[in-house]
Amino acid sequence: MKNVLPLCAAGFVTAFGAHGVASGLGFLQTNLLALGLVLAIYDGAEVLLKPVFGTLADRIGPRPVLLGGLLAFAVASSAFVLIDNVAVARFGQGVAAAAFSPAASAMVARLTPGNARGRAFGRYGAWKGIGYTVGPLLGGLLIHFGGFDVLFLTMAALAVAVAAWAFVAVPNLEPLPRQRQTVTDLVKRLSHSDFLRPTAALAASTAALATGVGFLPVKAAQHGPIVTGAAVSLLAITAALVQPRVGRALDAERIATRRGTRIGVLTAAAGFAAAAAIPGLAGALVAAVLIGAGSGIVTPLAFAALARSTPDERMGQTMGSAEVGRELGDAGGPLLTGGLAAVASLPVGLLGLAVVIALTAW
* Residue spans per domain, the chain: 2-170+185-359
pLDDT in tens, 151-165: 999 999 999 999 999
Which comes out higher in pLDDT, residue 232 or 179? 232
Q: Using 50, 70 and 90 to split pLDDT, how confident is the model at 209?
A: confident
Residue 139: pLDDT above 70? Answer: yes
Supply the pLDDT for residue 246: 93
> Cβ distance 353 to 205 under 8 Å?
no
Q: What is the mean pLDDT of residues 18-47?
A: 68
* 171 confidence band (pLDDT: 50, 70, 90): very high
Query: Chain-wide mean pLDDT for the chain?
Result: 86
Task: Give CA–CA dist 351/129, Å, rounded.
Answer: 23
Q: What percent of the chain lies above the pLDDT cut of 70?
A: 90
> Does the pLDDT of residue 112 top 70, yes or no?
yes
Whole-number pLDDT of residue 29: 53
pLDDT for 34: 66
List, for residues 174-200, the tens digit of each pLDDT value: 887 766 666 666 677 777 888 889 999
Question: Domain 2-170+185-359: which CATH class?
Answer: mainly alpha
Asked whether the predicted pLDDT for residue 357 surpasses 80, the reply is yes
Cα angle, residue 333 at apex, residues 329 and 339 outer, rounded to 5°: 145
Q: 183 or 232: whose pLDDT is higher? A: 232
Which one is predicted more confidently, 211 or 186?
211
pLDDT number for residue 182: 62
pTM over 0.85: no
- Convert the chain into a string of H (helix), E (strand) and C (coil): CHHHHHHHHHHHHHHHHHHHHHCCHHHHCCCHHHHHHHHHHHHHHHHHHHHHHHHHHHHHCHHHHHHHHHHHHHHHHHHHHHHCCHHHHHHHHHHHHHHHHHHHHHHHHHHCCHHHHHHHHHHHHHHHHHHHHHHHHHHHHHHHHHHHHHHHHHHHHHHHHHHHHHHHHCCCCCCCCCCCCCHHHHHHHHCCHHHHHHHHHHHHHHHHHHHHHHHHHHHCHHHCHHHHHHHHHHHHHHHHHHHHHHHHHHHCCCCCHHHHHHHHHHHHHHHHHHHHHCCHHHHHHHHHHHHHHHHHHHHHHHHHHHHHHCCHHHHHHHHHHHHHHHHHHHHHHHHHHHHHHHHCCHHHHHHHHHHHHHHCCC
Residue 268: is its pLDDT beyond 90? yes
